Structure 1
Amino acid sequence: MSTDPTVLVAGGGATGAGVARDLARRGVSVMLVDRDGLASGTSGRSHGLLHSGARYAEADRDSAQECLRENRILTEIAGACVRETGGLFVRLAEDDADYFERKLEACKAAGIETERLNGEEVRELVPNVSDEVVEGFRVPDGVVYPSRLVAANAADAEAHGATVAPDAPVTDVTVAEGEIDAVEVGGAIDETVRPEIVVNAAGAWAGRLAKLAGATVEMAPSRGVMVAVEYDDLGPVLNRCRDPDDGDIVVPHDGQVVLGTTSVPVDDPDDYERADWEVERSVSECAAMLPSVADAPTVRTWWGVRPLYAPDEAGTDRRGISRGFAVIDHADEAVSGLVSVVGGKLTTYRWMAEVVADTVCDRLGIDAECETAVRNLPGADDPDRLDEFVERYGGANPTDVDVVDPSAAPTDSRVDE
């Protein structure tokens, strides 16, 4: 590397790649690094739902409205990185009718477009749905292919002058007189770099990276399993309309559906149990909505770890932790030049990146507007080009390996069997 970057972004998931793209488009010198291939952490091990906001509507209207806005933006700029499928919330006979009404009204209050359906109308839309479904409503959910999305963001960052380096872990951070002084980057970079600002976008691993600099980020990660099974022509995303629980979502792919998920606290996002009961429960609960998935052949199974931020977390049930995000300036801990972005959702990655980029530009005295909401991602309308980007930055991840390269057999490093 001939020149130290002004900003080092550590973490090559959706948010980190989004930050690199945003800053590079504003003319900032950026280096994006990740210890593995891009999107190999939480982003590429999700269920791939492009949220409409409906899941959060009654509990967190602000998050719901963020999801809705970003859903619409991604639909415009991301092309074949996303898929417009629509979504459907369904109530089974055993589910709380009052909750259904609250959810529906909350969606309307948040500005989420809905259409109420009776049981027969649901069955016309999804012919194999359970006979126990008594009603439902449509929402504008969709599907996101994170390997493509992250790679396209990285490619755009690189096209605007950024350095993008997968397989380049941050191994140490030196702080001198209360400011970031140097960062040791191994692997593909294998150098000491001296950025003015480090953006910690390491997701579930953000606490570890912060600790290298003597700062603190209180993460409360939880694991969840996803199971892809053979299934043709589901159509919309299926959500069970009840309090969030295991096995309450079915996400359509071409010739497959992804069933999920569970929520189990973990202490170490690299070393945790992959329990058979999670697979069995997710399949059986999803089968309550779509019975035929119970006997469908399993294509792949994988776990992801949610990067939940909970500085006041005391209990063990992490479903109630906010899916909002936080941007932390560690100058208050005498680590000036370190900015962490934690929490959030894949759907809102671009907005998270914009807020971080605004923060960084304010610190650098740069007056430049964000362009990422109105500029199409490169390759958006060319799936082959998107997939070339994916291979450039480390290959496809479990969430969308079937879409990025349907003929590829997932490797042990990316799929948990």
Structure 2
Amino acid sequence: MNRSDGGGKPEVLVIGGGATGAGVVRDLAMRGVAVTLAERGGLSAGATGRSHGVLHSGARYAESDPTGAAECIEENELLRDIAGACVADTGGLFVSLEGDDDDYFERKRDACREVGIDAEEVPVAAARQAVSGLSADVSRAMRVPDGVIYPSRLVAALAADARGHGATIRTHSPVTDIRVSDGAVTGATVDGEHVDADVVVNAAGAWAEGCAALAGVNVPMQPTKGVMVGVDYDGVGPVLNRARSPSDGDIAVPHAGRTVLGTTSVVVDDPDEYERGDEEVQRVIEECAAMVPAFRDAVVLDDYWGVRPLYAPGERRRAAATADEPGTGEARGISREFTLLDHGADGVAGFYSIVGGKLTTHRVMAETVADRVCDRLGVDGDGRTGETPLEAADDPERLDRLVTAFDARSPADADIVGGVALEE
């Protein structure tokens, strides 16, 4: 990597090629900062590409975290404007079954309206028109502006846009060392190459703890695994959510010729090595079948696992808050707000970690990081990512070529991106 000679701006190294890392690189490059992305594999290989890919309206979190829900709906609307064929405007439904808590349904509906989410209770008959085979036990339904993100396309578009503004994108380039001298980062070893950098951003997701350790910093993570199951069923039009405290098997996401069912949440010690059990797959199918009984007998086309990049102190705070607030569900039901850590406080100036968050809010997470980095570097100018369409956003074929170029293929949108086979 060479320093930019355009304006003499210092160089930034971003570690991690998911939506947040790619978003940080795009934002910084658009502000004229010389920036490089390093990813150990292909882009979107972590939680981004192994998620259920929901473009959240914020309704899932409205009653437990109104601030996070308001952020979700703002980013939801913005992504519809700038991301083109990287997203699909499917709409969403929350449904209650006989025996589910009516108070929960009403709290969610009212909380959505209070933060500006267009939530409308609709007749069950209308819900049946939107979702073929909806259970006879459905007693109430609420329409919300959820959608679907195609993460392979999104990350490829972010990277292409960043590259178009002068960034360097390095895939299959593991970072094996972060160099620190006199209390500040000076660079890193990327794919065996010594690289100078004035700022290093750790956007490694579930691997953030290991990345931070390379600089002698502790970032305690609490990764949780979850399984998504693709079934041969095309009768689901909107994203379908169970209106209950978040639990296993409470969401079904429409795709091209399949529906992705999710998910579980189990703490793991290692984001690379963890058990993948058939019983979790079957539990997700069985729970989702309470909403659409045909899921139970549908052919399973694929299943894939992802690991959420959860920050341990944040999870402990959420667990404590949930214990004091009956009716909000288990801790995972509260919005996964993000945390930006400035490791200058740990004696490593110029080193930052961004942890937590959601795919829907990747852009505002990236903007927050870029603002802090630019403050340190003395770079003027506000971010423009929220008002600038992504490169190739309205050209699906070109997007899919970019996916191939950046090795960004992922199971989350395997049936959407051209030429990608379904696989474990």
Q: How far 1:3 sits from its partner (Å)?
A: 3.7
> How far apart, in 2, do the equivalents of 1:41 and 1:313 lie?
20
For residues 221-261 of structure 1, the C-alpha deviation after alignment (integer angstroms, 9 at most, x for no partner) is 10000001111241111000000000000000011100000
CA–CA separation in structure 1 for the residues paired with 2:315 and 2:156: 33
Q: Which residue of 1 aligns with 2:420?
A: 408
Residue among 299, 309, 312 paired with 2:311: 309
> Out of 397, 406, 423, which is 1:393 matched to?
406
**Structure 1 residue 355 corresponds to structure 2 residue 360:** no
Counterpart Cα distance in 2 of 1:222 and 1:134: 32
Is the 8 Å Cα contact of residues 44 and 408 (structure 2) preserved in structure 1? no
Give the whole-Å Cα distance in 2 for the aligned partners of 1:347 and 1:313: 19
Q: Distance in 1 between matches of 2:166 and 2:314?
A: 40
2:358 aligns with one of 304, 323, 345? 345
1:266 pairs, out of 261, 265, 268, with 268
Out of 106, 114, 133, the position equivalent to 1:109 is 114
What amino acid does structure 2 have at the position aligned with 1:117?
Answer: V
Q: Aligned equivalents of 2:31 and 2:373: distance in 1?
A: 11
Q: 1:157–1:370: structure 2 CA closer, same or farther, 3 Å change rule?
A: same
**Separation in 1, partners of 2:235, 2:126:** 17
Corresponding residue of 1:53: 58
In the TM superposition, what are the counterparts of 1:237-252 in structure 2 within 5 Å? 237-252=239-254
> Contact between 2:180 and 2:215, CA under 8 Å: does it hold in 1?
yes
C-alpha displacement at 1:124, in angstroms? 2.6
Aligned length: 408
Amino acid at match of 2:211: L
Question: What's the % identity of the aligned pairs?
Answer: 57
What's the RMSD between the two structures over aligned residues? 1.5
Deviates more, 1:308-317 or 1:200-209: 308-317
Q: Which AA in structure 1 matches 2:141?
A: G
Structure-2 change in CA distance of 1:320 and 1:296 (3 Å): closer
Gaps of 5+ in 2: 5-9, 321-329
Q: Mapping of 1:6-45 within 5 angstroms?
A: 6-45=11-50
Offset of residue 121 of structure 1: 2.7
Normalized against structure 1, the TM-score is what?
0.95
Q: Give the equivalent residue in structure 1 for 2:255.
A: 253
1:178 corresponds to which of 173, 178, 183: 183
- Corresponding letter in the other structure for 1:300: D
The amino acid of 2:35's aligned partner reads V
Note the C-alpha offset of 1:313. Answer: 4.9
Match of 2:152 in 1: 147
Deviation at 1:321, TM superposition (A): 6.2
3-state DSSP of counterpart to 1:399: helix
Matched-pair contact (CA < 8 Å) for 1:310–1:321: no
- Contact 1:37/1:395 (CA < 8 Å) preserved in 2? yes
Structure 1 counterpart of 2:377 = 364
The within-5 A match list for 1:78-227 is 78-186=83-191, 190-227=192-229
TM-score (norm 2): 0.94
In the TM superposition, what is the alpha-carbon distance from 1:120 to its structure 2 partner?
Answer: 2.4
The 1:165/1:244 distance shift into structure 2, 3 A limit, reads same
Alignment partner for residue 297 of structure 1, among 296, 299, 309? 299
SS in 1 for 2:415: helix
Give the letter for the 1:399 counterpart.
A
> For 1:334 and 1:408, how far apart are their aligned partners in 2?
45
